[in-house]
Amino acid sequence: MARTASLSGYLELLPEERLVELHMLDTLRRVFEAHGFSSIESRAVEPLEVLLGKGEIDKEVYAVSRIHDDDGAAAAAKHALHFDLTVPFARYVVENAGHLAFPFRRYQIQKVWRGERPQAGRFREFTQADIDIVGDGELPFRCDVEIALVMARALEALRIGEFTLRVNSRKLSEGFYRSIGLEDTAAVLRAVDKLEKIGAERVAAELVETAGASETQAEQALALARIRTSEPDVAPRVLDLLGDAAPDDLLRQGLEELTTVMAELTSRVPGRAEADLSIARGLDYYTGTVIETVLHGHEELGSVCSGGRYESLATKGRRSFPGVGLSIGLTRLLSALLDSGEVSASRKVPTAVYVTLREDQDWPAAQDVADQLRERGISAEVALSAEKFGKQIKYADRRGIPYVWFTDEQGRHEVKDIRSGQQTEADPASWSPAAVDLTPQIRFNDR
């Protein structure tokens, strides 16, 4: 069970839960680096104006200040904890542009903070795992494809169960709305974004009221949002909805891009992606591909991995840095998987061998045995006092330590497999545990 500590929204894990998290972090690192992404870490704190510049999340930002400034008065906050990794990354790129080679691909796995009301799957402090590719001036569309592909691979490697990348293109949606004569595309997107939550009728009403749509236009916009298919070529279905209207350039480009992304994903990670033309994304800096990810059986979580293309991640003078990226909500994922029991660790401690003590004075000799094991990569722990063997075995058993080591008066060694009870002679210089017992294993269980 993932437990909520005394402070709501700040998840703290037990050792056996942390092992699962570490395994996920290791897995992500391996996959990201296999695809050529470099790791960076940015400071936890940004100037307030850097964070508030992006609007949107203003009230969720935690400000940081000393309790008193030098005059002893309460200090006004100039800094704040970052609420995502994209904004700090943009600042980092601008600041270090001279040292980076573009296109720059980086991954970044860090805690972020948001001051919202916590709920199941929503935290005030949580870990995000981001990958982005950022270009100097321009960035090939091909990067959109690659980012989606790497994340699909990463999610597969995490073995979290079935998931679907829901892919759309802002260009497609906006181009479509314009083609049918709806100019306030932002208002349309906001309304359509609520489709799953409030239903078609109320979205249609909102389109008419706030986006200036006629009933026909509202119907067309809704029909577009209802397109959801694993068939890569969505163009015929979209164009069919236009009626007499002609597709504008933006729509044509969006169709081509979405089709390309879908075709590549379908061939390289079959069954992991579908085109979902209702995906809009709340943040307004997305300009092309947008992606959300639903974890099957955990639909209540919402998206566990989201992001997309933004044509202007950052600017420096006349230079602009377009980017494309995706972000995994690692804490959200982890907490759901731990709660459901789908993932667990085979033991609470790294220790593979517990070296018992027959007499208290045997402690140095026991450490020698442990060191011989450790030198060969076997985690070993020595008893702290020569309690009854029953107690020492029990200690190991409670922690899930698979082997217990005994040395008798003559210096003969035996090792006991605590699960079978089998005890055999062993040499500390050469004995090894079964491979699965060497380190805690991560278990993937049925729900």
Which stretches of the chain bind RNA, using CB under 7 A? 4, 6-9, 56-57, 60, 84, 114, 116-123, 126, 128, 197, 281-283, 292, 300, 302-306, 327-329, 331-332, 356-359, 386, 388-394, 397-398, 404, 406, 414, 416, 418-419, 421, 423
CB closer to RNA out of 118 and 247: 118
CB closer to RNA out of 251 and 295: 295
Tokens of 414: 């035996």
Shortest approach of RNA to residue 395 CB, angstroms?
A: 8
- Give the DSSP letter of residue 56: T
CB closer to RNA out of 95 and 360: 360
Shortest approach of RNA to residue 153 CB, angstroms?
A: 18
> Residue 265: which of 243, 302, 291 has the closest Cα?
291
Calpha distance 69→57 (Å, rounded)? 27
Cα angle, residue 82 at apex, residues 79 and 84 outer, rounded to 5°: 160
Which residues make Cβ contacts (< 8 Å) with residue 55, sequence separation at least 6?
A: none
Shortest approach of RNA to residue 360 CB, angstroms?
A: 8
Shortest approach of RNA to residue 165 CB, angstroms?
A: 12
Shortest approach of RNA to residue 78 CB, angstroms?
A: 22
CB closer to RNA out of 152 and 305: 305
Element spanning 218, H or E: helix 215-225
CB closer to RNA out of 122 and 237: 122
Shortest approach of RNA to residue 152 CB, angstroms?
A: 15
CB closer to RNA out of 141 and 389: 389
Shortest approach of RNA to residue 86 CB, angstroms?
A: 8
Strand ranges inside 211-288, DSSP E: 228-229, 273-276
CB closer to RNA out of 81 and 234: 81
- Helix axis angle, 170-179 to 185-192, nearest 10°: 120
Cα separations in angstroms, 366 against 252, 378, 381, 404, 433? 73, 15, 9, 12, 18
Dihedral (Cα; 45, 51, 56, 58), 10-degree rounding: 60
CB closer to RNA out of 37 and 286: 286
Tokens of 411: 């210096």
Shortest approach of RNA to residue 228 CB, angstroms?
A: 18
- Exposed, middle or buried: residue 273 (CB in 10 Å: 0-12, 13-18, 19+)? buried
CB closer to RNA out of 204 and 238: 204
Name the pairing type of β-strands 380-382 and 353-355.
Answer: parallel
Name the pairing type of β-strands 403-407 and 353-355.
Answer: parallel
Cα separations in angstroms, 12 against 123, 124, 337? 11, 12, 15
Shortest approach of RNA to residue 393 CB, angstroms?
A: 4
